[in-house]
Structure 1
Amino acid sequence: MPAIRAVVFDLDGVLVDSEPVWEEVRRRYVADRGGRWRPDTQERLMGMSTAEWSRYLAAEVIGGLEPRQVAEDVIEQMVRRYEADLPLMPGAVDAVRRVADGGLPLGLSSSSPRTLIDFVLAEMGVADLFRATLSTEEVARGKPAPDGYLAVARRLGVPAAECAAIEDSANGLRSAHAAGMRVIAVPHPRYPPAEDALQLASYVARDLGAVTPELLDDLAATPRP
């Protein structure tokens, strides 16, 4: 099996516990504009790019609004929430530093807009540890399509098959696996991934404390599901 030569983190649900914040902000936005939040809305939104989720909310959930306006309004509210209280996942900073100290280049592929990616990494104090970061705003398709992960691998100069991805959501797991990466799943307790997506992971970790250089070495000898 090829060695692991780079590690690509997801952001939402892996480094920052943002999904509850996204859900709260979007739910309130929808309610304030007379829309109807459906039982599967949150699950459908997870992994979508900004263009995709704003279009979905505008057309399918609210109606009568332009996607660009929806995106601007929601992202502005997310920035304010992060400025007031950034909800980092337990062990997030340590996990990033631990992997970086192991000598592997780091990338990040996130469905968050560039504004939020840069804000979070700067607040964590780890921005300089990432060689390549990407928002799915910058590629044609969001997760579960592999576009974002493939683009980060190219920026890192490492074949996707020699990268490990760290993901939490069903669409994120599907995206990284479709790119040809070996995937470490760190399921979010409130938003667990679908079982079929979880089966795409080469390793399922209870939390970020399990993400170590030793695990990545072991992963190199593990066939990809």
Structure 2
Amino acid sequence: MDVPDGTVLFDMDGVLVDSETYWHRFEDEWVFAAAIESGSPAHEEVTGMPYYEIYDYLDAEYGTAVSRDEFTSKYEERAESLYGEQVALTDGVPELFDGIRADEPALGIVSSARRSWIDIVRERFGLDPLDLVLSAEEIDEPGKPEPHVYEHAASELGFDPAECVVVEDSINGIESAVRAGAFTIAFRSTHNADLDLSRADVVAGSFDELREVLFES
């Protein structure tokens, strides 16, 4: 398996922290129950998308029963306690980050979460130093599943996307990385256990498996 060694880019939600479990609960309790007019969306339809683009998607597909301002405000209110108090760091993250730094490829986080939410996680779990932190809100292009955020990340670090390894967990995030041309590793966990992640080049079920892919392939 020919794994690029230019840079390793991690999605945050569902990869570095177990936040997707909490976001799915929020979607069940409010987004899909009160914020749409009709229908039963699946979590994978919106997981990985920027929250402000989730509104547009749901409005087009199901109709919305709340305003954009109310929708985004609810997400922003939920995020503060979710990232600041509830989420846990995925087992093996510090050790894998240390290994990547020692091996000297660039290391970054590329997320659909707001920069302020990423910063909460970085500070709370001591994830720095990083060569790049990029939120989808910081580029003037559509977010995941479009490829722009990973194309932009690669450019910021001086790499072609084909020189990048991306670790993603969602259908939308994997699609974004694949379309950008990156070597894509799907991270399998409880929240995506039943999803088809075959668009990725490799599927890993733990950070130990990620280490094997990154350092032993």
Q: Which residue of 2 aligns with 1:119?
A: 120
Written as runs of structure 1 = structure 2, the 5 A alignment for 1:49-88 is 49-57=50-58, 63-88=64-89
Q: Which of 207, 213, 216 is matched with 1:215 structurally?
A: 213
State TM-score, norm by structure 1. 0.83
Aligned-pair distance for 1:71?
1.1
Structure-2 change in CA distance of 1:194 and 1:41 (3 Å): closer
Q: Which residue of 2 aligns with 1:199?
A: 198
Q: Which residue of 2 aligns with 1:27?
A: 28
Determine if contact 2:35/2:65 at 8 Å carries over to the other structure: no
Q: Which residue of 2 aligns with 1:134?
A: 134
Cα separation, 2, equivalents of 1:61 and 1:114: 29
Q: Deviations over 1:169-202 (max 9, x none)?
A: 222111111111111221122323743xx33323
Cα separation, 2, equivalents of 1:39 and 1:112: 24
Could you tell which deviates more after superposition, 203-212 or 158-167?
203-212
Give RMSD over aligned pairs: 2.5
Determine if contact 1:177/1:183 at 8 Å carries over to the other structure: yes
Structure-2 change in CA distance of 1:41 and 1:205 (3 Å): closer
Q: Which residue of 2 aligns with 1:223?
A: none
| Structure 1, unaligned runs of 5 or more | 220-225
Structure-2 change in CA distance of 1:77 and 1:58 (3 Å): farther
Cα separation, 2, equivalents of 1:102 and 1:52: 36
User: How many residues align structurally?
Assistant: 215
Q: Which residue of 2 aligns with 1:222?
A: none
Cα separation, 2, equivalents of 1:22 and 1:164: 26
Determine if contact 1:169/1:193 at 8 Å carries over to the other structure: no
Structure-2 change in CA distance of 1:102 and 1:74 (3 Å): same
| Structure 2, unaligned runs of 5 or more | none
State TM-score, norm by structure 2. 0.86
Whether 1:181 and 2:179 are equivalent positions in the alignment is no
Question: What letter is aligned with 1:189?
Answer: T
Structure-2 change in CA distance of 1:26 and 1:100 (3 Å): same
Cα separation, 1, equivalents of 2:7 and 2:36: 43
Any idea what SS the aligned residue of 1:204 has?
Answer: strand
Cα separation, 2, equivalents of 1:193 and 1:169: 12
Question: What letter is aligned with 1:121?
Answer: R
Structure-2 change in CA distance of 1:86 and 1:3 (3 Å): closer
Question: What letter is aligned with 2:168?
Answer: E
Cα separation, 2, equivalents of 1:79 and 1:95: 27
Cα separation, 1, equivalents of 2:69 and 2:200: 35
Structure-2 change in CA distance of 1:5 and 1:31 (3 Å): closer
Any idea what SS the aligned residue of 1:150 has?
Answer: helix
Any idea what SS the aligned residue of 2:178 has?
Answer: helix
Q: Deviations over 1:192-216 (max 9, x none)?
A: 3743xx333232212012222x632
Determine if contact 2:34/2:65 at 8 Å carries over to the other structure: no
Whether 1:152 and 2:150 are equivalent positions in the alignment is no
Any idea what SS the aligned residue of 1:52 has?
Answer: helix
Question: What letter is aligned with 1:211?
Answer: L
